[in-house]
Amino acid sequence: EITDRQYDKLFAELKVLEEANPQLITPDSPTQRVSGRPLEGFTTVRHAVPMLSMDNTYNAEELRAFDERVAKGLGGRDFDYVVELKIDGVAISLRYEDGTLVTAATRGDGEVGDDVTTNVRTIKAVPLVLLGGRKIPTVLEVRGEVYMPTAAFVELNKLRAEAGESAFANPRNAAAGSLKLLDARITAERNLAFFAYSIGELSGPLAENHYQTLQGFKKLGLPINPNIKKAGDIDKVIDICLGWSEKRLDLG
C-alpha cells in the first residue's frame, strides 16, 4: 500500500502523461473514474432483465414454509442454500461488454432505472475493466449493492454539520443521494463501496450455481460480501441468521 500523498502525486503524474499522450489512456486508468464537469441530468435505462425486489421475513416458520415450497418446486431436497448478509444500500446493475464497464443503472421501478454510470465509475470497488480475459462473457450484467460504510457515513455527516448542512438520516439515504449527484467529483469524495450479488443479462455461461457465481465474481475482480456461507438445510440457514441477529449492530 501507499499513502494518500503518494497516490495523489502519482495520479497527478499520470494525468500529465496522458494529456501529453492520449493514445496511452486505457479504460481502466484511474483518471477515467471522475468526470471533469457536472451532468445536466440523468437519462434512463431499460433493464434487459428486470431487477425484482426481494421478499423479507423475520421468523423461522416463514423460512421453513419457504423451504417447503422450494423442495416441492424442485421435486426433492437435493439442493443447498447460500446465506448472505443484506446490505442496506442502493441496488445497482453494472453492464460489462467485452469486460469493460459501459453502463451502471439504478433499480428504479424494476423495469427502468436511472443511468448513474458517471457516478458509479468513481467508486473504487467497481472495476472499470474485469479480470479474466477471454473467459468473460461478451455481455455480463452484474447486480449488486452500492452502500456507504459506517465510518464514511459518520465522517460525511460531520463535514455537513461543520458546513451548516443537514445530516443524512442513515447510510442508505446518504448512498442514494450520493449516486444522484450531478457532479461526480463530489460523489468521488463520498467513499462509497460496492458488493456484487447476482447476475442480470448474460450472453454465455459463467457458473453452474449461485455460490460458484459469487466465487467467479471474485476472480473477475468484483468484490463480494466476505460473510457468505453455504447451508445444507433450512435449519442451518436459521442458525446462521440467529447468529448474525446477535452481532448485526457490529457490522459497518
Residue with cell string 471533469: 36
| Grid cell listed for 240 | 446462521
Whole-Å CA distances, 236 to 51, 127, 177, 230: 28, 34, 37, 9
Q: Where are the alpha helices (DSSP H) in the chain?
A: 4-20, 60-74, 117-120, 150-162, 171-179, 184-187, 210-219, 234-245
Contact 87, 225 (CB under 8 A): yes
Q: Where are the alpha helices (DSSP H) in 22-149?
A: 60-74, 117-120
Question: In this structure, are strands 139-147 and 90-97 parallel, antiparallel, or unpaired?
Answer: antiparallel
Residues noted as catalytic: 86
